[in-house]
Chain A
Amino acid sequence: MIYKVSYVVVGSRHPGAIVNRDTPPVLGEIVELGGDRFEVVEVADLIPPQGDFAYLHVTLRPIARGRRRKG
């Protein structure tokens, strides 16, 4: 199964992200997006799975700052 995950970040100006994962996200997991680290606080099905794909909506909250991004 491939997990197509939409991340929404609360408590931050981060725009969120869409990423394919090999494993399902779990509560408390630490996710890194472009040098920023976040904790998974909610996982929900967005739409029913189709074929090899599961579609999930994940809420994140920031846990640390450490941006590597340029300009």
Chain B
Amino acid sequence: MSEVIELLRRSELFAGLPEEKIEQIISIGRVKRFNAGETIIAEGEPSDEMYIVEEGLVEVLVSEMALPDVAGPSELTPVVQLGRGQVFGEMALVDRGARSATVRCVEDGTTLFVIPREAFWRLCEADHHIGYVVMRNIARDLSFKLRVRNLPRATGA
């Protein structure tokens, strides 16, 4: 329990929340472990969970259809790896759309904390402070990812 609290405290998603509210979030989630090569989520599938990397490394891959400006054959293209403290699947929390990317495990024993969408929304409705802080932090995280994604193009790399 204390390890998960520490993980969530050190994840940007829950920055600014006191420990008792982090414990409320922990109560609706669970820990899952994956080995290298396992698919965690698949592009196009329905989405109902968000994930935080507690330990290990995952890789985000998109198809040509999802990322039309990437040249090459119509296959999954790795776009970034995510390590400790990083969040993925958060778009599903916001828009309830299908998965926008495939995420595969890179390192054996990768540990994720999984938060189900509907239970999380209920928690946010019951406690608007949690909802405000998490949505602000999701916006900040998505902004960070957009900036990172735009950097290589800006430098021509």
Interface residues of A in 1-54 (CB under 8 A from B): 2, 4, 6, 8, 10, 15-20, 33-35, 46-47, 50-53
Residue tally, chain A, CB below 8 Å to B: 26
A69 on the B face (CB < 8 A): yes
Q: Bound state CA distance, A52 and B6, in angstroms? A: 14
Q: Which residue of A lies closest to B82 (CB)?
A: A18
Interface status of B30 (Cβ within 8 A of chain A): no
Q: Does A66 contact B (CB under 8 A)?
A: no
How far apart are the CA atoms of A35 and B36 in the complex, in Å?
A: 11
CA distance A51 to B140 in the complex (A): 12
Given A8-B152, A46-B144, A71-B37, are A53 and B83 neighbors across the interface (CB < 8 Å)?
Answer: no
Query: Which residue of B has the minimal Cβ distance to A10?
Result: B157
In the bound assembly, the distance between CA atoms of A2 and B35 in angstroms comes to 27
A-side interface residues toward B, CB under 8 Å? 2, 4, 6, 8, 10, 15-20, 33-35, 46-47, 50-53, 55, 57, 68-71
* Nearest 8 pairs of A and B residues by beta carbon: A20-B85, A19-B83, A70-B37, A17-B81, A15-B78, A34-B106, A6-B148, A70-B36
